[in-house]
Amino acid sequence: MKKKVALTGDRPSGKLHLGHYIGSLVNRLRLQETYDQYVMIADLQALTDNFEHPEKIRENVFEVAKDYLAVGIDPQKSTLLIQSQIPELAELTFFYLNLVTVARLERNPTVKAEIKQKGYTDTLPAGFFCYPISQAADITAFKAEVVPVGEDQIPMIEQTNEIVGKFNRIYHTDCLVEAEALLSHTPRLVGIDGKNKASKSLGNTIFLSDDAQEIKRKVFMMYTDPNHVKVSDPGQVEGNVVFEYLDAFHANKEEVEDLKERYRKGGLGDTTIKGLLNTTLQALLEPIRARRQALCEDEVREILWQGTQRARLVAQKTLSEVRTAIGIDYFLGRF
């Protein structure tokens, strides 16, 4: 039986961190076993709000690819691709622009929230405003049937499916395929500051590529319970970053529950739980870092090249169907 197609990916605006690991990478390792999975490095999407700093995106395309390979995304099972190297995606975006009203874009809750968060006023770039249409191009180009997303990304899938429905109806075709949101129930990983979600821009994350010393340093900086001054004081577990990370990364849930119990009562020091978390994270990240360091530039480049070419063939086929449906294949067979 033909495997279902899944599309996932990241904006390469920084190296990947533990938030990505727990939020999406682990899931992709599972998905690649049963799905025909495309993993896209969305550099064009990253440029929509970083267009003045293209070097930041450029630098991170290969870093993100290394992170993928280091955690175990297998180029034999997943197709790794770079968005900007598939011009067909821009062309599909161009065609889909006609099918979405400005009013509809203005109503997109995901974009609305992001516009607010980024503080865009009359500075909002048209490229950022229109990026749900570009995402629809990405999803439909590969005929993705499932797209793993967080709750907040569901409106993007809805927008995609509206375009699919409208395109197929207007142009009397079935060449575009609806996508289904594969909801991830992983809660967002909190940053080491305990205030916000882990995010590279806030500098509160542990990167997959951090060295042993850096990991330890960050673990020992973690926000715990400010009222837990002496070891003997009762401590609070809720909002305590160390326990949130132990919940997320420690294999033995019972042991963690036991520690929480002891921490609450008093008698368990921050140094002890931080030591345990450090050991846990070192054990997780050491082999990832080793695999990462063993990768050579040319190998990564070759994998990205091969994956992108494979993906491009699929996008070209979809684009060709789209062009035929619209009726602009004037030179068919020649072009």
Name the residues that contact a second copy, by CB under 8 A.
43-44, 47-48, 51-52, 54-55, 57-58, 61-62, 82, 84-85, 87-88, 90-91, 93-95, 97-103, 105, 122-130, 133-134, 170-171, 301, 304-305, 308, 323, 326-328, 330-331, 334-335
Nearer to a second copy, 137 or 277 (CB): 137
Residue 212, phi then psi, degrees to nearest 5: -55, -45
Q: How far apart are CA 174 and CA 91, in angstroms?
A: 19
How far apart, in Å, are the Cα atoms of 318 and each of 35, 137, 176, 313?
19, 10, 8, 9
Nearer to a second copy, 1 or 103 (CB): 103
Specify burial of residue 71 (Cβ count, 10 A radius: 0-12, 13-18, 19+): buried
Q: How far apart are CA 204 and CA 74, in angstroms?
A: 29
DSSP type of residue 2: P
Nearer to a second copy, 62 or 220 (CB): 62
Q: How far is the CB of 9 from a second copy (least distance, A)?
A: 16
CB of 65 closer than 8 Å to CB of 83: no
Q: How far is the CB of 47 from a second copy (least distance, A)?
A: 6
Nearer to a second copy, 202 or 328 (CB): 328
CB of 308 closer than 8 Å to CB of 85: yes
Q: How far is the CB of 67 from a second copy (least distance, A)?
A: 17
List all residues 6 or more positions away from 125 whose beta carbon is below 8 Å from its beta carbon.
48, 49, 51
Nearer to a second copy, 68 or 245 (CB): 68
